[in-house]
Structure 1
Amino acid sequence: SSPLNFIVRKLAHLTEFGILAVLVWRALEPMRLAYAGAWLFATMYAVTDEWHQSFEPGRTATPKDVAIDSCGALLALIGVFLYMRWKKKEHDPAKRDVS
């Protein structure tokens, strides 16, 4: 396995778990703890995914992979949070500079 293959696979996991977290956040969005719930769901899914992998021949389960998946979820949710904050500020006339 080449270093490039390793990097591509890890980036794929970051992306996949980021998408999962955003979709779960969207489902929970009106709730007060939607961000935390989405991150927790994605992280727990990563744990169960690694646990399942431990039973597959030729596959290994590592806490490092859970951390990578969890970071993907966190980064995506931070992106959503910042975007939603920017969007709210853009559309709130009281917060716009009207000079």
Structure 2
Amino acid sequence: AELLIQPSAEVREGTEVTLTCVGTGHAAGEPLYSWYRNGKRLQESPIPALRFPSIRGDDAGAFQCRVRSSNGSATSVTVPLRVLCECWGAWGVPCCP
């Protein structure tokens, strides 16, 4: 499986970000997609995309997807997603992590 990040793997806070899991070969039956961030499962869905309408600093991390079907399963490599701070507090300290 391959994990694609749109628009890029480094985005500003508030940007809409879509992660797409592309399976290899032809999956028989209905494939199921599992999404992971920093090794923890976020969700499982029949839809091959994970969407953040307005990404936040704490949404950043190392993402991975796994596609499962009756043909077996395939896992993507881990892809880092960086979120750049849009908000700056006093003394130039960012107000997001």
TM-score, normalized by the shorter chain, greater than 0.5 = no
Larger % of helix: which? Answer: 1
1 or 2, which has the higher strand percentage? 2
TM, length-normalised to structure 1: 0.28
- Computing the radius of gyration from Cα coordinates, the structure with the larger value is 1
User: TM-score, length-normalised on structure 2?
Assistant: 0.29
